[in-house]
C-alpha cells in the first residue's frame, strides 16, 4: 500500500497561501535559535486532487456502522441518529468552558440534571452520578461506593466480591482495583448463576456480587430476585453491570430487581457513536443506602435554578473533572426525549427480536452451547465445523463477505465462541444476508478449508501477526536520513 509520501512531486501544493507580510528572516528572528529546525520538515508535496483522493481512499478502508453491519457482541454497535450529532455541536453546548460558574451555564446544568432524573426513573433507583467516563469507570466508581458504604458501617471484614465466570473482563478488574478479592462463581448448565454455588460462597466476608444483566451469553438470570435476596440476606450489596441495558430498556428496572448499584453505558444503549476510543459515559445509579457516598459535586435543583452541591461529607470524592463527558449526556437526553417510554420499549423489543431471529437462522449449522431464549445477543461456537477450522478462520472469511466480524473467544466459558449482537437498528434483509454468509462459510469449511485458512482475501492487508503487532507496534514511517 502506498502512503501520501509516495505521491506528488517536489514543489507541488494543495493550496496556494498568500505571500508572507514579513520576510522569513524577520520571522525567524523572533524564534530562539535553539528552537529553529535545521532542515525543512519532510511534508508531503501533493496537489489538491491527490490530497483529496488520499484521504477519501483512507476513509473507504474504514469500516463502521455507517458503512455496514457491525455485530460485535457486548458492544452494541447500533446506528446512532445523526440528529444527536447536530445537537451536541450546538455552539451553546460545545463552546462552553467547563469552569463557568453555575449561574452562567444554567442550560447545561439543566441538561445534566434532567438526564440524571430520567436515568433514575428508567432504572428505578433514587441516586445518580454522571461523572464516570465509560462503563469500566462506572464499575470502578460503583466499587468505590461499595467500599465506602462498608467502611462507614465498620464492616471492613467484607473483602470478597462474587463474580460469575461469564462476567465481562472489566468487572473483576474493577473490583480488584479497589482492593476486593474476586471469587469466581460457576455458571450452571443453563448458563446462569448456580444458586447452590452462590449459597455456599455467601458469608460474613462477602461485600457483594457483580452481575451482568443479562449476562454475556445474552441470557437473563431467571433467578434474579432470589439471587439479590440471598446476597442482601447475607449482608452484601448487588452491583448490576448495565452495559446490556438495551435488552430490557423500558420494560424492567434494575432497582425493582434488587440492584444497589447500576452502571449504564450511554455510548452503547443511549446513542453515542463509539468504537474509536471514546468519549463515552458510564453514569451510575444507586439505591437509597448509597446516595450519601456519591461523587461531588451533585447537581441539584432549587426552585427554578440549578446548583452544584458540594455538601456531601461522606462522598467518595470526584471521579472525573467537571461533570463527565457532557456532550455524551446531551446525546443521551436527546435520545430519551425523542423515543419516550414507548420508543424505549421498542428498542428492547427490536434488540431481542433481532438476536433470536438471527440465532434461529444459524443454530442448525453452528453449535449453540447454551440454547435458551436470549435477550439482545447470543453465543455460538465455531468448533466442529471442519478439519482444523477455528472461529478465527470463520470471522476472517466473513470479512470477504463484507461484514465486520462478531466478538470472538468471549465469553471464556464457550470454546471457540462467536458472540453476536445484531442490535435493534438493522433491517431484516441485513440479518438474512449475514446469516447466509455464515452458512456459506460453514459449507466452505467442509468443502474448501484452505479458503478459510487463508482469508481474508480482499482486504488491504491479509492476516497479521496480531501478538507481534501489539508487542512491537511500528507506527512510524522511517525515512532515510538526509
Ligand atoms: C462494554 C462493556 C463494559 C465496559 O464498558 P466500557 O464503556 O467499554 O468501559 C462492561 N461490561 C460489559 C458487559 C460491557 O459490554
Helix (H, G, I), strand (E, B) or coil at 138: helix
Instruction: Determine whether the shortest distance from the Cβ of 242 to ligand 1 is under 6 A.
Output: no
> Rounded to the nearest whole angstrom, what is the distance from the C-alpha of residue 76 to the centroid of ligand 1?
10
Residue 106 CB-density burial (10 A; 0-12 exposed, 13-18 middle, 19+ buried): middle
Residue 237 burial by Cβ neighbours in a 10 Å radius (0-12, 13-18, 19+): buried
Kindly give the pairing relationship between strand 237-242 and strand 261-264: parallel
Averages of pLDDT over each 10 residues, the chain, 482 residues = 87 90 78 86 93 92 91 95 94 94 96 98 98 97 98 97 94 98 96 96 98 96 97 98 97 98 97 85 98 97 96 97 94 97 98 98 97 97 95 97 96 96 97 98 97 94 88 79 53
Please check whether residue 254 is in contact with residue 124, taking contact to mean a CB–CB distance below 8 angstroms.
yes
Is the preceding omega at residue 48 within 30 degrees of 0, hence cis? Answer: no
Ligand 1 atom 3: residue of nearest CA:
135
Distance 170 CA to ligand 1 centre (A): 7
Query: How many of the other CB atoms lie within 10 Å of CB of 154?
Result: 7
Atom in ligand 1 nearest the alpha carbon of residue 282: 7
Break the chain into its structural domains and give their ranges. Answer: 82-339, 342-469
Question: CB–CB of 206/185 below 8 Å?
Answer: no
Nearest CA to ligand 1 atom 15: 74
Cβ of residue 135 lying under 6 Å from some atom of ligand 1: yes
Query: How many other β-carbons are positioned within 10 Å of the β-carbon of residue 379?
Result: 30
Residues 249, 255 contacting (CB under 8 angstroms): no
Question: Most distant CA pair in the chain: distance in Å?
Answer: 82
Q: With a 6 A CB cut-off, is 416 part of the ligand 1 pocket? A: no
**Three cell numbers, residue 37:** 529546525
User: Which grid coordinates are listed for 245?
Assistant: 441495558
Q: 123 is written with which cell numbers?
A: 432504572
Ligand 1 atom nearest 280 alpha carbon: 7
CB 260 within 8 A of CB 236: no
Q: What is the CATH number of domain 342-469?
A: 3.90.1150.10
How far, in Å, from the CA of 28 to the mean position of ligand 1? Answer: 51
Ligand 1, atom 7, residue with closest C-alpha: 135
Distance, CA of 449 to CA of 442 (rounded, Å) = 9
CB 426 within 8 A of CB 366: no
Separation between Cα atoms, residue 140 and residue 432, nearest integer Å = 39
The cell numbers describing 446, all together, are 467442509
Residue nearest to atom 4 of ligand 1 (CA): 135
Beta carbons within 8 Å of 23's beta carbon, 6+ residues apart: none
Pocket lining: 134 vs ligand 1, CB cutoff 6 Å: yes
How many helices and strands, by DSSP H and E, does the chain display?
A: 16, 12
Q: Quick one: pLDDT at residue 189?
A: 94
Q: How many CB atoms are located within 10 Å of the residue 93 CB?
A: 17
Cell of 176: 480488584
Residue 136 alpha carbon to ligand 1 centre in Å = 6
CATH number of this structure's domain 82-339: 3.40.640.10
- Cis? peptide before 279, omega within 30° of 0: yes
Q: Does ligand 1 have an atom closer than 6 angstroms to the CB of 280?
A: yes
Find the 137 Cα to ligand 1 centroid distance in Å.
9
Distance 244 CA to ligand 1 centre (A): 8
The grid coordinates listed for 471 are 508487542
Q: Please give the grid coordinates belonging to residue 274.
A: 463509539
Residue 74 alpha carbon, nearest atom of ligand 1: 15
Mutate to test the pocket of ligand 1, among 131, 132, 168 (most ligand atoms within 8 A of CB): 168
| Cell matching residue 428 | 431484516
Closest ligand 1 atom, residue 134 Cα: 7
pLDDT given at position 23: 80
For residues 113 and 405, what is the distance between their CA atoms, to the nearest angstrom? 38
Report CA(357)–ligand 1 centroid distance (Å): 24
CA of 159 relative to ligand 1 center, distance in Å: 24
Residue 136: CB within 6 Å of ligand 1? Answer: yes
pLDDT for residue 481: 58
C-alpha cell at 242: 448495565
Residue to mutate (ligand 1; options 245, 254, 265, 272; most atoms within 8 A of CB): 265
**SS3 labels along 32-58:** CHHHCCCCCCCCCCCCHHHHHHHHHHH
CA distances from 245 to 256, 288, 462 (A): 14, 21, 36
- pLDDT value at residue 204: 98
Q: From the alpha carbon of 136, which atom of ligand 1 is closest?
A: 9
pLDDT of residue 28: 76
Q: What is the pLDDT of residue 24?
A: 76
The rounded Å distance from CA 140 to ligand 1 centre is 12
Q: Which of 77, 241, 272 to mutate to test the pocket of ligand 1 (most atoms within 8 A of CB)?
A: 241
Supply the DSSP symbol for 180: P
pLDDT of residue 276: 76
Cβ of 76 below 6 Å from ligand 1: no
Residue among 170, 325, 376, 407 whose CB has most ligand 1 atoms within 8 A, to mutate: 170
Q: Give residues with Cβ within 8 angstroms of 269, minimum separation 6.
A: 76, 242, 243, 245, 246, 249, 347
Q: Are strands 417-420 and 378-381 parallel, antiparallel or unpaired?
A: antiparallel
The reported pLDDT for the residue numbered 1 is 64
Compute the distance between CA of residue 386 and CA of residue 444 in angstroms, rounded to an integer.
9
3-class secondary structure, 308 = strand
Beta bridge partners, 193, equal: 187
What pLDDT shows up at residue 144?
98
Taking residue 188's Cβ as centre, other Cβ atoms within 10 Å add up to 14
Which backbone phi and psi does 383 adopt, to 5 degrees? -75, 150
Q: DSSP letter at 476? A: S
Residue whose Cα lies nearest atom 12 of ligand 1: it is 243
Tell me whether strands 284-286 and 298-302 are parallel, antiparallel or unpaired: unpaired
Of all atoms in ligand 1, which is nearest to the CA of residue 267?
7
- What is the predicted pLDDT for the residue at 479? 67
Nearest to 437 by CA among 376, 350, 378, 365: 365
- Please say whether the beta carbons of 160 and 320 come within 8 A: no
Distance CA 357, CA 429 (A): 12
Amino acid at each position: 500500500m502506498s502512503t501520501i509520501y509516495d505521491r506528488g512531486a517536489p514543489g507541488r501544493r494543495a493550496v496556494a497561501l498568500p505571500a508572507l507580510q514579513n520576510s522569513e528572516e524577520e520571522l525567524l528572528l523572533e524564534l530562539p535559535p535553539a528552537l529553529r529546525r535545521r532542515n525543512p520538515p519532510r511534508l508531503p508535496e501533493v496537489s489538491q486532487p491527490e490530497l483529496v483522493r488520499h484521504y477519501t481512499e483512507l476513509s473507504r478502508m474504514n469500516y463502521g456502522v455507517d458503512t455496514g453491519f457491525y455485530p460485535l457482541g457486548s458492544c452494541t454497535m447500533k446506528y446512532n441518529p445523526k440528529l444527536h450529532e447536530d445537537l451536541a455541536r450546538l455552539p451553546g453546548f460545545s463552546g462552553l468552558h467547563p469552569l463557568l460558574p453555575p449561574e452562567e451555564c444554567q442550560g447545561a446544568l439543566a441538561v445534566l440534571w434532567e438526564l440524571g432524573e430520567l436515568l433514575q426513573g428508567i432504572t428505578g433507583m433514587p441516586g445518580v452520578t454522571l461523572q464516570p467516563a465509560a462503563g469500566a469507570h462506572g464499575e470502578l466508581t460503583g466499587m468505590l461506593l461499595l467500599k465506602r458504604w462498608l467502611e462507614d458501617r465498620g464492616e471492613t471484614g467484607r473483602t470478597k466480591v462474587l463474580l460469575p465466570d461469564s462476567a465481562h473482563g472489566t468487572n473483576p478488574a474493577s473490583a480488584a482495583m479497589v482492593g476486593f478479592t474476586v471469587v469466581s462463581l460457576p455458571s450452571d448448565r443453563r448458563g446462569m448463576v448456580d444458586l447452590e454455588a452462590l449459597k455456599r460462597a455467601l458469608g460474613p466476608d462477602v461485600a457483594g456480587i457483580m452481575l451482568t444483566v443479562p449476562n454475556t451469553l445474552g441470557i437473563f438470570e431467571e433467578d434474579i430476585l432470589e439471587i439479590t435476596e440471598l446476597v442482601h440476606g447475607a449482608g452484601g450489596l448487588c452491583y448490576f453491570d448495565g452495559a446490556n441495558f438495551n435488552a430490557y430498556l423500558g420494560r424492567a428496572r434494575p432497582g425493582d430487581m434488587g440492584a444497589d448499584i447500576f452502571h449504564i453505558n450511554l455510548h452503547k444503549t443511549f446513542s453515542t457513536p463509539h468504537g474509536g476510543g471514546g468519549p463515552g459515559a458510564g453514569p451510575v445509579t444507586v439505591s437509597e443506602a448509597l446516595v450519601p457516598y456519591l461523587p461531588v459535586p451533585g447537581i441539584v435543583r432549587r426552585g427554578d435554578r440549578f446548583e452544584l452541591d458540594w455538601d456531601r461529607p461522606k462522598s467518595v470524592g470526584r471521579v472525573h473533572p467537571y461533570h463527565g463527558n457532557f456532550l455524551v449526556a446531551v446525546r443521551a437526553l436527546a435520545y430519551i426525549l425523542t423515543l419516550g417510554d414507548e420508543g424505549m420499549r421498542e428498542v428492547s423489543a427490536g434488540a431481542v427480536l433481532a438476536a433470536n431471529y438471527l440465532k434461529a437462522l444459524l443454530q442448525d449449522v453452528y453449535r449453540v452451547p447454551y440454547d435458551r431464549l436470549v435477550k439482545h445477543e447470543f453465543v455460538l461456537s465455531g468448533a466442529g465445523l471442519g478439519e482444523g477450522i477455528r472461529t478465527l478462520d470463520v470471522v476472517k472469511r466473513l470479512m470477504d463477505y463484507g461484514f465486520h466480524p462478531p466478538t470472538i473467544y468471549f465469553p471464556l466459558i464457550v470454546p471457540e465462541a462467536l458472540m453476536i449482537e445484531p442490535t435493534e437498528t438493522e433491517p431484516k434483509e441485513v440479518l438474512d444476508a449475514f446469516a447466509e454468509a455464515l452458512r456459506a462459510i460453514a459449507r466452505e469449511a467442509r468443502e474448501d478449508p484452505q479458503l478459510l485458512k487463508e482469508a481474508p482475501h480482499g482486504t488491504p492487508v491479509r492476516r497479521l501477526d496480531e501478538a507481534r503487532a501489539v508487542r512491537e507496534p511500528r507506527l512510524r514511517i522511517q525515512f532515510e536520513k538526509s
